Structure 1
Amino acid sequence: MKLHFLFLFLFANVLIEVNASEIQYVFKNHQEGYHVYRIPTIIKTKGNNLLAFCEGRRSLFDNGNIDIVMKTSKDNGKTWSKLKVVWDNGKNTCGNPSPVINNTNGNVIVLATMNNDKVFVLESKDEGESWEQPKEITTSVKLNNWQWYATGPVHAIQLEQKKNINRILVPCNHTILGNKNHVSHVIYSDDAGFSWKLGGSVPGENTDESTVAELLNRDLLLNMRNNEKSISKRKISISKDGGETWTSPIIDSTLIEPICQGSLLRYSFSPNILLFSNPLNKNRRKNLTISVSYNEGKNWTKRIFVFKKKSAYSDMVKLNNGDIVCLFEFGKMLPYRGVLVKIIDNELIME
């Protein structure tokens, strides 16, 4: 892989610029039946296929006739299949995909919502080739006084360590009736996605679109979009009981944001590496960056610049060779012209 690097030292961080020539489209606006593609997520199956999901929209609006669509890559993100519709419910809004692989049987599970109100589970037993009918789980994971509801939109996780091993955990957010401020919470399944329970909510308000990772000590780190415009930095919270309760959120002073979704990924436990992708800018959705932490998110000491122009929502997945596939929104006037993919060489990630 031919890469050009720009090494800068600023505030004890290493900043790396990746050659943008290796970026390619996965979902392109005004093609394959939809005007706009937004809200990308990505996972790797047991069979080492990549499944890229997003919302297929008729317009830029977040409501109306929206479907969940996907494409498959069988060569580590180099080429992609034709578009497949995963969930189309007429004129309803089917969105906020949060996919995960059930490691106990290899099934693909996607949590999603209808009309930002009802919660559903979609499942595939053949690596995304076919899908069972969506199963509604709203009454199990939503309180009566909650109104808005969104799953993800980012990959979910399955816990790997002894405490709560194989628990599937999905970051979500909601609003309470009569209050427009969002609150982050999680839902989980301890039986391979058959049944679902409501986990803990993060104390306070003004956080949503969270993303979660497992820490070495078995704690969970929840990284959240911060809707307080005066701060422009991410918020984080910790759970010590598998997501059933969360600490009061604090500001992560090293992760700036323009109020936007981001993606947290456990790259490896040994060596200890966490990755976080988001637009690294205080005011505008641009400059998509992967930040690297070697100490459980206490510091983010390396930045890998993926796309310097307009960019917004993103997700990441690790390949078997250690490379990272980053799926993200981009544009010119607005960062919503389509969804691109960039493969990041594993040598850039190591300390």
Structure 2
Amino acid sequence: MKKHCKFFLIILFSASTAYSCFSQTTNTLFDTEVSKDSSLTSTPFYAGMNGYYAFRIPTIIKTKNTLIAFAEGRKNSTSDFGDIDIVYRRSTNKGKTWQAMQVLYDLDTMAVQNPVPIYVKKQNKIVFLFNTTSMSEHDILNKDYELKDERMAFMTSTLDEGLTWAPIKNITRSVKKEYWRWHAFGPVHGIELNYGKHKGRLVVPIANSIEKGKKAYCMALIYSDNSGKTWQIGAEDNNLSDDIQANETTIAELPDGRIYVNTRDQHGGSPEKNRGEVFSSDGGESFDTTITETDKFPSPVVQSALLSWHGEKELLLFSTPSTFNKRENLIIMSSKDNSKTWQTLFKVHKGSAAYSDLVQLDQNLLGVIYETDDYKKIRFSRIPIE
């Protein structure tokens, strides 16, 4: 461990993983395995489970007493298009074990995608957003289609920690402009703001495209000031002339009340710069500047996740694969200065690793859910922080 690490982080997990604390990302990050212990790792979803070919796109949220992991249950392949359901599993012991899998929404042979849970603390409520589509991403981006065939946006909620869910509500016209072609929530947990005049506001990132063509990706934020009952579009990135083709985006609130926005650069604006970042100082209603291409992160072109850590220290955490041109070697990074600088704190998984999400389980326990084993498994690791 480097002496300048302010606290000690221990990860105990399966045979292909280890624990460590680092000051920077290097090619030798995963050269040494230190400890192997499966007691803090579980596998909430795996290929073949309940008849599904594969599970992808994990997200996770914690209520007062329950942890809920969501995923896309893909019936016939790992493809992003086809017969896809939203499924979930509940845990009442912080992810040690999981209750039986439940199907949240199944729309026959259509794709139900992009799970985004948001926790409303005062009500112990989960608001849940997702998309549906009858067309592939390629066709949505490049072909003409009728409005009835557009990607649609829906929401539901639960007040009993996922035991029952409210009727599904179509919110497409509130969160998607008609000329937007592609539209995708997250996929990652959304946030409730804790500071400033917008305290209590729910904010969710979306990916969209604003004209025909595969290079028309942009992103935006949507928000709700009534605990998810109604939604509106806030900050928008409509710039197709910059270096960033913003796609899947993750957000976190900073201690000063600003929202930090970190986005996947879909087409990799330049070598070793596959992320973009920007801030919002008005609760997600607008961006302070244009999105800036950044080389702070060792990410390939992939979804990643942010988390505001509230413990003895306030930290900004970021989970990502750590090989520029391949989805492998999942790490968690941290920033103590609102994203001016980042350090690699520890490695989560050596080998195949892709989409992920983060959750704070308590004052001393972090959780990370992630795809691994070439999309055959979705694992959950609990990380004690001392």
TM-score of the aligned structures, taking structure 2 as reference length: 0.84
State the Cα deviation string for residues 169-224 of structure 1 (Å, max 9, x = none). 01111012313221111111001111110111125241111000111221111000
Secondary structure at the aligned position of 2:122 is classed as coil
2-side partners of 1:289 and 1:237: how far apart? 22
Residues 320-331 of structure 1 aligned to structure 2 (within 5 Å): 320-331=362-373
Residues 157-306 of structure 1 aligned to structure 2 (within 5 Å): 157-180=191-214, 181-205=216-240, 206-229=245-268, 230-233=270-273, 234-246=275-287, 247-268=289-310, 271-306=313-348
1-side partners of 2:25 and 2:68: how far apart? 37
1-side partners of 2:205 and 2:247: how far apart? 9
Cα distance 1:7–1:42, how it changes in 2: closer, same or farther (>3 A)?
closer
Deviation at 1:6? 4.6
Q: Which has the higher strand share?
A: 1
Cα distance 1:19–1:207, how it changes in 2: closer, same or farther (>3 A)?
farther
Deviation at 1:2? 7.7
2:112 counterpart residue number: 94
- Is the CA contact (8 Å cut-off) linking 2:58 and 2:71 kept in structure 1? yes
**Structure 1: gaps (5+ residues):** none
Deviation at 1:96? 0.1
2-side partners of 1:262 and 1:177: how far apart? 25
Cα distance 1:64–1:10, how it changes in 2: closer, same or farther (>3 A)?
closer
2-side partners of 1:83 and 1:11: how far apart? 37
1-side partners of 2:43 and 2:128: how far apart? 23
Deviation at 1:269? 7.5
- Is the CA contact (8 Å cut-off) linking 1:272 and 1:295 kept in structure 2? no
2-side partners of 1:182 and 1:113: how far apart? 17
Secondary structure at the aligned position of 2:115 is classed as strand
2:179 counterpart residue number: 145
- Is the CA contact (8 Å cut-off) linking 1:171 and 1:185 kept in structure 2? yes
Amino acid at match of 2:247: D
**Structure 2: gaps (5+ residues):** 1-9, 13-17, 134-149
Cα distance 1:73–1:269, how it changes in 2: closer, same or farther (>3 A)?
closer
Task: Tell me the matched-pair count.
Answer: 343
State the Cα deviation string for residues 226-262 of structure 1 (Å, max 9, x = none). 1233333311011111111112111232212110000
| 1:317 pairs with 2:359 | yes
Amino acid at match of 2:266: N
Cα distance 1:311–1:165, how it changes in 2: closer, same or farther (>3 A)?
same
Residues 16-35 of structure 1 aligned to structure 2 (within 5 Å): 19=35, 21-22=37-38, 23-35=41-53
Deviation at 1:109? 0.9
State the Cα deviation string for residues 311-334 of structure 1 (Å, max 9, x = none). 100001011242111100001xxx
Secondary structure at the aligned position of 1:104 is classed as helix
- Is the CA contact (8 Å cut-off) linking 2:181 and 2:208 kept in structure 1? yes
1:38 counterpart residue number: 56
1:336 counterpart residue number: 375
1-side partners of 2:172 and 2:199: how far apart? 24
2-side partners of 1:172 and 1:159: how far apart? 17
- Is the CA contact (8 Å cut-off) linking 1:226 and 1:232 kept in structure 2? no
Deviates more, 1:294-303 or 1:51-60: 294-303
Q: CA RMSD in A?
A: 2.2
Aligned with 1:155 (options 169, 174, 189): 189
Aligned with 1:81 (options 99, 118, 131): 99
Larger Rg: 2
1:107 counterpart residue number: 125
Secondary structure at the aligned position of 2:173 is classed as helix
1-side partners of 2:95 and 2:34: how far apart? 17
State the Cα deviation string for residues 16-37 of structure 1 (Å, max 9, x = none). 9774533331101111131110
1:57 counterpart residue number: 74
State the Cα deviation string for residues 148-168 of structure 1 (Å, max 9, x = none). 110010000000012201000
Runs of 4+ in 1 over 3 A off after TM superposition: 1-12, 15-21
Cα distance 1:6–1:277, how it changes in 2: closer, same or farther (>3 A)?
closer
- Is the CA contact (8 Å cut-off) linking 1:272 and 1:296 kept in structure 2? no
